[in-house]
Amino acid sequence: MNKDALLADLRAALGDAYVVTEPEQLAPHLVERRGLYQGKALAMLRPADSAQVQAVMRIATQHGAKVVPQGGNTGLVGGQIPMDDACLLLTLGRLNQVRTRDAANNTMTVEAGATLHAVQHWALEMERLFPLSLASEGTCQIGGNLASNAGGTQVLRYGNARDLVLGLEVVLASGDIWSSLGGLRKDNTGYDLKHLFLGSEGTLGIITAATLKLFALPKAQATAFVAVPSVEAAVHLLRQAEAASGGQVTGFELVPRIGLEFVTRHLEGARDPLTQAHAWYVLIELSSGGTQSVLDELLGTLLSQGIEQALVLDGAVAQSDTQRADFWALRESLSDVQRREGGSIKHDISVPVSAMGTFIEQATQAVLRRLPGIRPVPFGHIGDGNVHFNLSQPVDMDTQDYLALWGEFNDIVHGIALSLNGSISAEHGIGQLKRDELAQIKSPIEMEMMRSVKHALDPKGLLNPGKII
């Protein structure tokens, strides 16, 4: 590959200012949040629109150059980091406009580089809800969310990112563009190709725009921070809440005592909403299009019945939007505060919701057997059967010595999740972090089908090399 000729063609297509090679400008895009990967790239490209993304892919194909798409760089598996100094890093941040809004169709078409927060805001302007919600929403981009099939805190009611999409515009490795932005809710005309790109982590095509489903804005929300005696009790409470509310549970998040202690220790202004310490908590949120008083009463009844049935030990109901935001801040900062407690070995597992208690118990015992003093912090989307079974280091251990055990603990925890019919990646994807493991846990036929799809769409292997497969 002639790098000078490649760069010259790219500059002619995008303009000099949008082919960035200065190391200090590249640097923030070559590290990811956890510091697990230090990337390399020949240049960072900043196209302005889909036509320029097409031009990039045509030039890349001609020169045989590899291309790594990057959105907000908040991914947690290294998928967005190029690892080769001949790679082109393609950032989508300049494709950040809303193209069309159709309130009667409950849809909106947006460009891939818009932040998730901007997309939520555009929906609010239409008096609609775009329900995808992640702690990284101020930075992550909708294209990155769709490419990684993000989950978040409202999957229980609205589904994953995949479930919120009606159509995509995608630039293929060849430079051809495929568009299906018509906003149809029913279209059974052959294979539903969008699902190939959703969750493909930039290995099959570059998402440049999407038509998203919108929902009615809830008029009332009732939120409680509740102590429960066990993880099993939390699952029972969830099912009762769903039955009693007719499917109005929009959030159901697990918080362990140690997590709450980390937050109250490190997050300024955070405080324990309850007077006594308990081993487990859930953050419950109900949302409805009805009146606030009816929803408040429903939540109150649910908690009283929970106390009578010993499913609830104590609870605090948010009395204002500020208090509701405070409860959510406790949950959403759980990931960040772990950094302040030294090394943290991460897991993003799912198991059937019914097996969640067994998983947490078995995994906790297993990691403690391997390293007494290790501090498990299992938290997250218990309503989806998804917990981040993160492991903070023993207090007196050297951080690097601890982090050297990352692979060993992954094996222990993933082994238990798999034995319960679970997954080693519930919502963060495979990227490069779990690529080798994927090949071990998928059947040969699954790996072969994935390779065939990859080969069909990207025969030269130009898109996001070294990720997923």
> Of 19, 134, 233, 260, which one interacts with ligand FAD (CB under 6 A)?
134
* Interface with ligand FAD, residue 72, by CB under 6 A: yes
> Of 54, 73, 350, 425, which one interacts with ligand FAD (CB under 6 A)?
73
Query: For ligand FAD, which is the closer residue by CB, 233 or 326?
Result: 326
Q: Which stretch binds ligand FAD (CB under 6 A): 128-136, 272-280, 359-367, 406-414?
A: 128-136
Query: For ligand FAD, which is the closer residue by CB, 227 or 263?
Result: 263
Query: For ligand FAD, which is the closer residue by CB, 85 or 408?
Result: 85
Taken in order 116, 122, 125, 127, the sign of the CA dihedral is negative
Query: For ligand FAD, which is the closer residue by CB, 202 or 357?
Result: 202
CB 135 within 8 A of CB 116: no
- For the record, the structure tokens of 317 come out as 């109901």
Max alpha carbon distance in the chain (Å)? 74
The residues with which 283 forms a beta bridge, in sequence order, are 225, 253
Residue 339 beta carbon to ligand FAD: minimum distance, rounded to whole angstroms: 11
> Of 30, 41, 56, 71, which one interacts with ligand FAD (CB under 6 A)?
71
- Quick one: which of 334, 440, 442, 436 has its CA closest to 388? 334
Sites for ligand FAD among residues 382-441 (CB under 6 A): 427-428, 431
Total number of residues that touch ligand FAD (CB under 6 A): 37
The residues with which 178 forms a beta bridge, in sequence order, are 170
Query: For ligand FAD, which is the closer residue by CB, 135 or 360?
Result: 135
Spell out a b/e string for 435-455, using b for 16 or more CB atoms within 10 Å of the CB, else e: bebbeeeeeeeeeeebeeebe
φ and ψ at residue 375, rounded to 5 degrees = -120, 95
Q: Which stretch binds ligand FAD (CB under 6 A): 135-143, 299-307, 359-367, 391-399?
A: 135-143
CB 357 within 8 A of CB 420: no
Sites for ligand FAD among residues 306-365 (CB under 6 A): 335
Residue 383 beta carbon to ligand FAD: minimum distance, rounded to whole angstroms: 13
Measured CA to CA, the distance from residue 469 to residue 459 in angstroms comes to: 14
CB 144 within 8 A of CB 74: yes
Residue with tokens 């099912």: 239
Residue with tokens 């408040």: 296
Q: Which stretch binds ligand FAD (CB under 6 A): 3-11, 68-76, 296-304, 310-318?
A: 68-76
* Interface with ligand FAD, residue 156, by CB under 6 A: no
Angle at alpha carbon of residue 383, lines to 378 and 388, rounded to 5°: 25
Query: For ligand FAD, which is the closer residue by CB, 277 or 325?
Result: 325
CB 62 within 8 A of CB 41: no
Which of the 8 DSSP states describes residue 401? H
Query: For ligand FAD, which is the closer residue by CB, 144 or 256?
Result: 144
- Give 68-83 as a DSSP string: EEESSS--SSSTT--B
- For the record, the structure tokens of 443 come out as 């059947």
Sites for ligand FAD among residues 180-239 (CB under 6 A): 201-202, 206-207
Residue 264 beta carbon to ligand FAD: minimum distance, rounded to whole angstroms: 19
> Of 13, 14, 60, 76, which one interacts with ligand FAD (CB under 6 A)?
76
Q: Which residues bind ligand FAD (CB under 6 A)?
A: 33, 68-76, 79-80, 92, 112, 134-136, 140-141, 143-145, 147-148, 150-152, 201-202, 206-207, 335, 427-428, 431, 464, 467
